[in-house]
Amino acid sequence: MSVIKNDLVLFRGKKDSYLICDFGSNVIESYQKSLDYLSCQPWNTDISVILGFCPPSDTPVEDYYMQIGTILRHSEYKHILCYGKDIENHDYAFPKTALLYNQMTDMLDDLSKFDFEKESVLIKAPKELLPQDIVSQLQRRVHDTVFQINLNAISHNLNYFRSKLKSTTKTMCMVKAKSYGLGDVEIATTLQNEGVDYLGVAYVDEGVNLRSWGIHLPIIVMNPEHSSINTLIKYRLEPEIYSMRVLKQFVDELKNFSFPEPYPIHIKMDTGMHRLGFSSLQLPELIDYIKDEPSIRVASTFSHLVAAEDPREDDFTKLQLARFDDMANTLVGGIGYHVIRHILNTAGIARFNQYQHDMVRLGIGLYGYSSFYEEQKQLKNCATLRTVISQIRTLESGETISYNRRFRVQNTAKIATLPIGYADGINRLWGNGKGYVVINGQKATIVGTICMDMMMVDITGIDCNEGDEVTLIGRDPSAADIAEAIGTIPYEILTNVSDRVKRIYTIRI
């Protein structure tokens, strides 16, 4: 018997709903798997289902619906809407709360009666039953431009790096800046399901958002601002402490709360980045304060490598590693108990694996990028930015394209306009002949200045039509390709994809 694999697409719906879409198999086991996935999601307390059925020819219709009804009774659903040929004649098979429709059009007419506010909704039906018509009514954003994130690829990359670690080494994953632009809740949920030990965010509001969507993992806030400490404590987030000022502010705010155990904090050491952190000269004061303050307990101490990816700076990296060991030993010896130590980032895992200590921090590697060729080959592309061709025109020699007439056509050319620009995250430095997109497997050079909402590409010699799909960031060109061409780093390319671009998430279960 073949193993059923469901390909799900996830994205935000209207009124803080979450849509889980499965337009695949019509066999019973497939419905069971998707319903199980819905029941295990952490995002919303209320869950609902909209299911379309086309019973297989080798299964009696009555038996098919009876099995579906039995599965539906295993969970509590706020709404159950089902449609399919003659389904109303089998109402006895379904829960009493289920609404049944022989015609999909009748169900679509009723959809407006349900707000699905703060619900997670599974929409599952074979493609021939047109479930996309349901999605079009419930989705929050309708755009031809989408940023598609493969959650299985993120899991693959995580487990690749885990394979390089000792079994006892913990993993902290950075999900700040919406996981480097790819998405916050969806990726944090994937990492939570994969059993990572900590998540890292930059600011308190990022952690609060994750908590509101059901993320229960320990979350370290790397920059706990004074104005947000009260909120940080309320949501049981854990602060990076990088100075005595921040530590005293935190302890003062902590007095307004009552916890049965000391509150976990994370001590940042400055070993050479000179951005944030305690120096070795400040450790005696820090240790004395911690020893006299019973409301807190150091959970970890860490530092940040400056240039682990650059062999030319290996002497400095080794100096940082030695400084960290000395400072961590001083701290632990002074406070008298074990704390988690971590200093390795993605590049550090690749090049200084022997210093993995108790935990490592994964950032850009998790999202498919490495500074090292052999390692890059082991990682999977996680994110693909796509749009479509809006219009195609033919221009004659001498005509110009876009603002300031910076591109002049040399020979007769076919030009395609794409509905995406720098407000969506396409850097203007990537225009005017420097960059390219991929259409039907062929490279099309970007011509003219990239506009706020549009850009033009040369499709001369490419077989394509209006409405065809265009890849702007993915495996080719990758964020690393673009970054190298315009003199920046992949982080900036990914984080610049703006919020107005619709994110969709795919996962195979």
DSSP for 387-432, written as a single string? EE--EEEEE-TT-EESGGG-EE-SS-EEEEEES--GGGT--GGGTT
**Domain harbouring 293, CATH code:** 3.20.20.10
Residue 117 sits in the same domain as residue 157 = no
State pLDDT tens for residues 453-492.
999 999 999 999 999 999 999 999 999 999 999 999 999 9
Residues linked to residue 297 through DSSP beta bridges, in sequence order: 264
> Which stretches of 181-313 are DSSP H helices?
185-193, 204-212, 229-234, 244-254, 283-291
State pLDDT tens for residues 73-83.
999 999 999 99
Q: Are strands 469-473 and 79-84 parallel, antiparallel or unpaired?
A: unpaired
Residue 339 sits in the same domain as residue 201 = yes
Rounded Cα distance, 433 and 436, in Å: 8
Rounded Cα distance, 78 and 227, in Å: 39
Residue 250 sits in the same domain as residue 109 = no
Residue 211 sits in the same domain as residue 313 = yes
- 147 part of a folded domain: no
The contacts of residue 260 (CB under 8 Å, 6+ apart) are none
Rounded Cα distance, 507 and 8, in Å: 5
Rounded average pLDDT over 216-241: 97
Rounded Cα distance, 204 and 209, in Å: 9
Rounded Cα distance, 87 and 81, in Å: 11
* Residue 388 tokens, joined: 């479509």
* Residue 112 tokens, joined: 């407006």
Residue 242 sits in the same domain as residue 387 = no
Strands in 135-231 per DSSP E: 146-150, 170-174, 198-201, 219-221
Is residue 434 part of the annotated active site? The answer reads no
- 400 part of a folded domain: yes
Domain boundary among 123, 142, 161: 142
**292 φ, ψ (degrees, to nearest 5):** -95, 0
Helix and strand counts by DSSP (H, E) for the chain: 16, 25
**Element spanning 375, H or E:** helix 373-376
Q: What is the pLDDT at residue 1? A: 53
* Residue 459 tokens, joined: 């499709």
Residue 73 sits in the same domain as residue 189 = no
Cα distances from 217 to residues 41, 193, 239, 428, in angstroms, run 15, 10, 14, 39
Rounded average pLDDT over 418-438: 96
Q: Check if the beta carbon of residue 331 is closer than 8 Å to that of residue 298.
A: yes
Rounded Cα distance, 98 and 81, in Å: 6
Mean pLDDT of the chain: 96
* Residue 357 tokens, joined: 């200590």
Rounded Cα distance, 31 and 22, in Å: 9
Residue 424 sits in the same domain as residue 396 = yes
Residue 353 sits in the same domain as residue 271 = yes
Residue 400 sits in the same domain as residue 433 = yes
**Tally of domains in the chain:** 3
The separation between CA 495 and the C-alpha centre of its own chain, rounded to angstroms, equals 11
- 209 part of a folded domain: yes
Q: Check if the beta carbon of residue 492 is closer than 8 Å to that of residue 170.
A: no
- 1 part of a folded domain: no
- Domain range for 467: 383-508
* Residue 259: pLDDT over 80: yes
DSSP state of 262: P
Q: What is the pLDDT at residue 140? A: 85
Residue 69 sits in the same domain as residue 128 = yes
Q: What is the pLDDT at residue 141? A: 74
The contacts of residue 493 (CB under 8 Å, 6+ apart) are 425, 427, 473, 479, 482, 483
* Residue 26 tokens, joined: 């019509």
Rounded Cα distance, 207 and 184, in Å: 10
**Domain harbouring 64, CATH code:** 3.90.190.20
Domain boundary among 347, 376, 405: 376
- 2 part of a folded domain: no
Is residue 377 part of the annotated active site? The answer reads no
The residue annotated as part of the active site, out of 33, 124, 176, 178, is 176
Q: Check if the beta carbon of residue 352 is closer than 8 Å to that of residue 308.
A: yes
Residue 182 sits in the same domain as residue 110 = no
The residue annotated as part of the active site, out of 92, 318, 403, 434, is 403
Rounded Cα distance, 26 and 55, in Å: 7
Domain boundary among 142, 164, 194: 142
**Domain harbouring 471, CATH code:** 2.40.37.10
Q: What is the pLDDT at residue 2? A: 65
Residue 33 sits in the same domain as residue 118 = yes
Rounded average pLDDT over 111-133: 95
Rounded average pLDDT over 105-120: 94
